[in-house]
Amino acid sequence: MPRKPTQPGFHLAAHSYTAPAPGVRLIVLGAVHGNETCGTKAITRTIDELERGHLELRNGSVTLVPVTNPLAYHFGRREGERNLNRNLRPTGHPADFEDRVANWLCPLLAAHEVLLDLHSFHTPGEPFVMLGPENNAGSLEPFSHAAEERTFARHLGVRRFVDGWLDTYARGVSRRIAAGPRSAAGADPRYGIGTSEYMRSVGGYGVTLECGAHGDPEAPDIAYRAIRNALAFLGLSTCDTPRPVADPTRLRLVDVVDKTHDADAFDHEWASFEPIVSGQRIGTRHDDTPVLAPEDGYIVFPNPHSRAGEEWFYLARGESTREAQDRHG
């Protein structure tokens, strides 16, 4: 049995450093999911360098959170009592440990201007950055800092960029509602709101950097390099400004496929961003119905351990440089 959140050992800790001169307010998160520890290692390394004077701030401030979800981190699993990176919002009536974390984390995010959230994923694959939407005044995810967010992302040290998260999640919600009664959370498109979406909702911008597979020994170094690059690019540190990544790869999420039964299974062990062709078999439902690729593209976030009613995998399309320039300017 997990320890109750009221017991000692699950405190929430943030390390803040402020330069004498004003500047950007950056926040960096690790272990939003407790089994994704590359960010924790990179943040701990950065704190050590700041404490020893091997890294110096010249402007602004940075807040470093090595372990955002201590309950999940303690047990080495994705969630404590639920997924912290879904339905992230303050609440006057916290029902679980993650609600209590959200009541601490959301005001902390709102006190900053830029977010770097460090994650990893289930299966092998190339690191990538999750971006927000284009500038818009819509009801789902209004946003006005798309250009700044994309420029920031291009200086973090990885070359693959993915957008379309919340729109695609909302499409999945619509399909779940049409399929039959669901929980109140599963029927709300805003249940897809996590750290970066919340950051955008309070006037800032932020990205999620997926640094590689959970056990990839290079993932902590990718996370560490991204922190150093973020500090330099935003003018916070005395380090040289990094160059933007050349020849980026841009992808857009277009659909999500849920498990309908715990026995649904993949055809083989998929890697995130593995190419697929129209009609290719991706997996098999519990009743032997094949799951086929609807078009050429890529499989993203394949999760063989998801449960019935949860996201099983996402589908993405490639985007040419010209298309990206037309959409993003």
Q: Is residue 237 part of a domain?
A: yes
User: Residue 188: what pLDDT?
Assistant: 67
Q: Same domain for 114 and 130?
A: yes
Total structural domains within the chain: 2
- Indicate the residue among 186, 220, 247 that finishes a domain: 247
Q: Same domain for 154 and 231?
A: yes
Tokens for 209?
Answer: 């950097």
CB atoms within 10 A of CB 64: 23
Q: Are 274 and 299 in contact (CB under 8 A)?
A: yes
Q: Is residue 3 part of a domain?
A: no
Nearest to 91 by CA among 77, 104, 73: 104
Q: Same domain for 239 and 301?
A: no
Q: What residues pair up with 250 in beta bridges, in sequence order?
A: 161, 319
Q: What is the DSSP letter of 215?
A: T
Tokens for 97?
Answer: 């440990």
| Interstrand relation of 249-258 and 311-319 (parallel, antiparallel or unpaired) | antiparallel
User: Residue 186: what pLDDT?
Assistant: 55
Q: Is residue 10 part of a domain?
A: no
Q: Is residue 295 part of a domain?
A: yes
Q: What is the DSSP letter of 273?
A: T
CB-count exposure of residue 139 (10 Å: 0-12, 13-18, 19+): exposed
User: Residue 323: what pLDDT?
Assistant: 46
CB-count exposure of residue 20 (10 Å: 0-12, 13-18, 19+): exposed
Q: Is residue 9 part of a domain?
A: no
Q: Same domain for 55 and 181?
A: yes
Q: Same domain for 163 and 283?
A: no
Q: Same domain for 148 and 297?
A: no
Tokens for 23?
Answer: 């500047």
Q: Is residue 187 part of a domain?
A: yes
> Rounded to the nearest 5 degrees, what angle is found at the Cα of 309, between the Cα atoms of 126 and 106?
65
Q: Which residues contact 322 (CB under 8 A, 6 or more apart)?
A: none
Q: Same domain for 194 and 271?
A: no
CB atoms within 10 A of CB 253: 23
Q: Are 194 and 106 in contact (CB under 8 A)?
A: no
User: Residue 245: what pLDDT?
Assistant: 93
Q: Is residue 45 part of a domain?
A: yes
Tokens for 302?
Answer: 């394949």
Task: Give the C-alpha distances (Å, rounded to integers) separating 68 from 40, 94, 166, 209, 261.
Answer: 9, 17, 22, 15, 31
Q: Are 122 and 214 in contact (CB under 8 A)?
A: yes
Q: Same domain for 272 and 139?
A: no
* Prediction pTM value: 0.89
Q: How far apart are CA 39 and CA 202, in angstroms?
A: 24
Q: Is residue 317 part of a domain?
A: yes
Q: Same domain for 140 and 258?
A: no
Per-10-residue mean pLDDT, the chain, length 329: 48 96 98 97 98 96 98 95 94 95 98 98 90 94 96 97 91 76 56 94 97 94 98 96 93 94 94 94 97 96 88 88 44
Q: What torsion, rounded to 10 degrees, do the Cα atoms 14, 155, 231, 146 define?
A: -60
Q: Same domain for 213 and 294?
A: no
Q: Are 193 and 89 in contact (CB under 8 A)?
A: yes
- Indicate the residue among 247, 269, 303 that finishes a domain: 247
| Interstrand relation of 160-163 and 128-130 (parallel, antiparallel or unpaired) | parallel
Q: Same domain for 243 and 324?
A: no
Return the sign of the alpha-carbon dihedral for residues 271, 273, 274, 280.
positive
User: Residue 185: what pLDDT?
Assistant: 47
> Residue 307 sits in a domain of what CATH number?
2.40.50
> Residue 206 sits in a domain of what CATH number?
3.40.630.10
In the numeric block, the tokens 């920031």 are attached to 152
Quote the domain boundaries for residue 281: 250-328
Task: Give the C-alpha distances (Å, rounded to integers) separating 211 from 41, 123, 132, 173.
Answer: 12, 12, 17, 27
Helix (H) or strand (E) holding 29: strand 21-29
Q: How far apart are CA 37 and CA 76, in angstroms?
A: 9
- Indicate the residue among 247, 279, 310 that finishes a domain: 247
Tokens for 250?
Answer: 């841009």
Q: Are 14 and 65 in contact (CB under 8 A)?
A: yes
Q: Same domain for 191 and 292?
A: no
